[in-house]
Structure 1
Amino acid sequence: MLTHIPFPPLPAPPSWFPGHMLQFQRMLPTLLNKTDVVLELRDARLPLTSINRNFEGALQKWRRERGKEIPTGAFSAVDASATTPMAGPSTGPACQRIVVFSKRDLVPEWGIKPFQRAMAAKYPDQSVFFASWNNRRDIKALNELLVNVAREHPHRPELNVLVVGMPNVGKSTLLNALRSIGIAGPTPKALRTSAQPGMTRVLSTRLKLSVDPLVYAYDSPGVMLPFLGKGDKGAERGVKLALIAGIKEGLYDTETLASYLLYRMNVLDPVSPAYLRLLPPDSSPVLYVQEFLELLAQRLCMLKRGGIPDTSRAAVWFIKWWREEGGLASAAAPALPASASGLGLQSWRRGWGFDLEWDVDAAESGRYDESMIQAKMEECIDRFEAAAEAEEREGGAISSTQVKKMAREIQRARQEMRSRARLAAKKGW
């Protein structure tokens, strides 16, 4: 069992904010004027890290302008296994924000309902939906949700949906799937997709998702945060996003990603981390990434000349394994294992994905249920929000380059005002 797990050294986060992202961010307030439903996509493996807080200001203003006050205490999770109920007709403007967590098939099922309830408690203005693009039932349920929103507003000739989110969360793939469900007959793929971020660079033309009622959607470019943060928090945020392929490939070294991945798995289960199934039989948990990659390369027969383990290939394979199945395997079940008492442990680290982690003590393990998991998740969300607000207050969400640019713009504006004042005084205006 590992007793001390050091945080791995991580590089400063890269800056990846191409011009098309800035252009769309500036267009967003105008686009929202003709939008009825916002589908905001996030990655279920990083349900908090994949939040783009830069959208919040525009989305909150959009709701206020539509006369939609943020409700309190309303449960707004959507269960894909149930038929979505339709409310009565509404005469007011349509204004609904649906947060769709993609990659449902890569997170443990036991955490989905508690997380939905935790999100509903903390963000009552958002409807929460989990989906896997490979699951036709999920896509059909989301399609029914959009159709029902359109039917709730019969006075509107059509419903316009805007899809937003960070890069590579599956926006284009989702729209292709929704179109195949909502349009009868064969429907060719309308939007190009890629496993790498940045495929969509401009706002798409309107895509028809339903004929009766009429539902149209716009696909948008994925928008990354302009600055991922300072210190360890920013470095960790960047690595997390790189692990889900949300950042352009090549900005991070694969061994760096493997090092962080090893650390997180050790934290979640220091006795029997999920990666042990990949190593030779009877292997023990490993602290250091170089030792781990050598063992993994030997097990996979990834060897260079002379029998030297090819750790670079092993790192690539390890990351791919986590993306495809390891994320599901590494999210340990919530209950405290029976072996904990024999090891003299008073608490156990549990988690759901890499964003939600909590301690379970021996007294809680016997009465662990969904309500307690929900409470733990709500605490995680509170910590996330508090940290984000503190970061904004301290200027941690803005890079030094951005600070200098803002200072130059302020100075330029002041000089322009003084010039205008002198000109007005000279001409006697």
Structure 2
Amino acid sequence: MLTHIPFPALPVPPSWFPGHMLQFQRTLPTLLNKTDVVLELRDARLPLTSINRNFEGVLQKWRRERGVIPSPSPSPGGSTAGPSSSSVCERVVVFSKRDLVPEWGVRPFQRAMEAKYPDQRTFFASWNHTRDIKALNQLLVNIAKQHPDRLELNVLVVGMPNVGKSTLLNALRNIGIAGPTPKALRTSAHPGMTRVLSTRLKLSVDPLVYAYDSPGVMLPFLGNGIRGAERGVKLALIAGIKEGLYETEALASYLLYRMNVLDPVAPAYLQLLPPGSQPLLDVHEFLALLAKRLCMLKRGGIPDTSRAAVWFIKWWREEGGLASASAPALPTSLATSGLESCRRGWGFDLEWDVATSEAGRYGEAAIQAKIEGCIDAFEAAALEDERDGSTISSTQEKKRMKEQQRTRQQARTRARLAARRG
């Protein structure tokens, strides 16, 4: 059992924010005017990192305008009443790839999210499981039935790149429409396939439910320091960032670290190594051993670690993630390890310490409390980044200063022209 897992060195995060993402982000407020339900997709392996905080302000404004949440500063004499009976304004956060995270953390995480964000519904699903798609389809149908005065329900699907938006809509359409339904949206394992808002897709006939697919929107700037670096590597591992912006060995190093945290006794990658192998901390040693095992050798019998890194990441995306999801809530050897505590993780975002003395009462309530602590730490870090300006790159700051300077110059010019006319 690994007792100390050092954090790897990570590269500076790249910037990847194509023009179609900016265009969609600007049109989102207008789109919400004709939207009843927002399905916000996130990756269950990155339940916090796959939050796009640029959506938050727009979605909160949408809910205030619909009367779902009160305005922070209502005008004198203004009404603070709730939404009218005909108003529909639902936000459902759907965590995709449920089968790639340990099942023991799903319910505690949902309860923690409900406690921290009571204005959001949460839903876990795997697109491979028909029952999950049926349950999500029924949720949308039930929302529509709660508003029989509405002729139709309009759903907008948003989220970061490659979280499965198009795949979900194809699956919902297949479940909700009787008879053969051809694939309506193109899908890809690479981010950025959807570049414009889709045409309306019918998801249900009675009641009528329509949906729009939208381009995946990345954060314009991933952040400074270790938090920004880690955010970028996580998104690259789930193929949420354009291929080629990261060296594969850097991704392999972080992946090795995370798999060790998920299961320090028997991490899933051991099945790739020779029988009897022990968990490894050094990525170069691991990749060399893996390259030999896969017969990936250069001239002279030198292990081709670069090829091995590419293979390792591909294996994790296709098979290893499922194997990692079988990690237990606690190592069975914790009580006899002689350690005071051990490090535990759920997905790639949530990580906490468990004291050996806690092992006997380590149930769902205890796990929920640990997860709530992780969410609190995440929110505190996000606020700190906003205060420090770490959410804006130096390039963005320069552009903003130039725009402000241009606006001031235009105001001075208008003032001079007005003075001359006067």
| Equivalence for 1:166 | 160
Alignment of 1:274-423 (within 5 A): 274-330=268-324, 332-337=327-332, 339-423=333-417
Do the aligned residues in 1 keep the contact of 2:2 with 2:264 (CA within 8 Å)? yes
In 2, Cα distance between equivalents of 1:7 and 1:314: 21
| Equivalence for 1:77 | none
Do the aligned residues in 1 keep the contact of 2:100 with 2:324 (CA within 8 Å)? no
Return 5+ residue gaps in structure 1 as ranges: 71-89
Structure 1 stretch displaced more, 236-245 or 322-331: 322-331
In 2, Cα distance between equivalents of 1:134 and 1:327: 14
**Cα deviation 1:181-239 (Å, max 9, x = unaligned):** 11111100010000000000000111111111111100000000000000111111000
| Equivalence for 1:126 | 120
Partner of 1:162, secondary structure, is strand
| Equivalence for 2:38 | 38
Do the aligned residues in 2 keep the contact of 1:242 with 1:252 (CA within 8 Å)? yes
| Equivalence for 1:73 | none
Alignment of 1:115-264 (within 5 A): 115-264=109-258
Partner of 1:305, secondary structure, is coil
| Equivalence for 1:47 | 47
Shift of 1:362: 1.4
In 1, Cα distance between equivalents of 2:147 and 2:208: 11
| Equivalence for 1:87 | none
Structure 2 residue 77 is matched with structure 1 residue 95: no
Shift of 1:302: 2.2
| Equivalence for 1:8 | 8
In 1, Cα distance between equivalents of 2:19 and 2:411: 29
| Equivalence for 1:24 | 24
TM-score by length of 1: 0.92
Do the aligned residues in 2 keep the contact of 1:106 with 1:325 (CA within 8 Å)? no
Structure 1 stretch displaced more, 194-203 or 300-309: 300-309
Do the aligned residues in 2 keep the contact of 1:203 with 1:219 (CA within 8 Å)? yes
In 2, Cα distance between equivalents of 1:369 and 1:63: 36
In 2, Cα distance between equivalents of 1:321 and 1:393: 40
Shift of 1:241: 0.2
Structure 1 stretch displaced more, 277-286 or 264-273: 264-273
Output the amino acid matched with 1:264. Answer: R
**Cα deviation 1:47-77 (Å, max 9, x = unaligned):** 110000000001001111111028xxxxxxx
Partner of 1:333, secondary structure, is coil
Shift of 1:368: 1.2
In 1, Cα distance between equivalents of 2:182 and 2:169: 12
**Cα deviation 1:319-351 (Å, max 9, x = unaligned):** 1222233234335322353x2344320001111
Partner of 2:300, secondary structure, is helix
Which of the residues 108, 111, 122 maps onto 1:114? 108
Partner of 2:178, secondary structure, is coil
Shift of 1:3: 4.5
Shift of 1:4: 4.2
Shift of 1:266: 2.7
Structure 1 stretch displaced more, 419-428 or 27-36: 419-428
Do the aligned residues in 1 keep the contact of 2:41 with 2:96 (CA within 8 Å)? yes
Do the aligned residues in 2 keep the contact of 1:333 with 1:350 (CA within 8 Å)? no
Return 5+ residue gaps in structure 2 as ranges: 71-83
Do the aligned residues in 2 keep the contact of 1:168 with 1:195 (CA within 8 Å)? yes
In 1, Cα distance between equivalents of 2:308 and 2:286: 9
In 1, Cα distance between equivalents of 2:338 and 2:324: 23
Structure 1 stretch displaced more, 18-27 or 364-373: 364-373
In 1, Cα distance between equivalents of 2:93 and 2:139: 12
Cα RMSD over matched residues? 1.5
Aligned residues: 408
Do the aligned residues in 1 keep the contact of 2:141 with 2:209 (CA within 8 Å)? yes
Output the amino acid matched with 1:234. Answer: G
**Cα deviation 1:140-192 (Å, max 9, x = unaligned):** 11111111111111111110000000000000000011111111111000100
Output the amino acid matched with 1:63. Answer: R
| Equivalence for 1:78 | none
Output the amino acid matched with 2:375. Answer: I
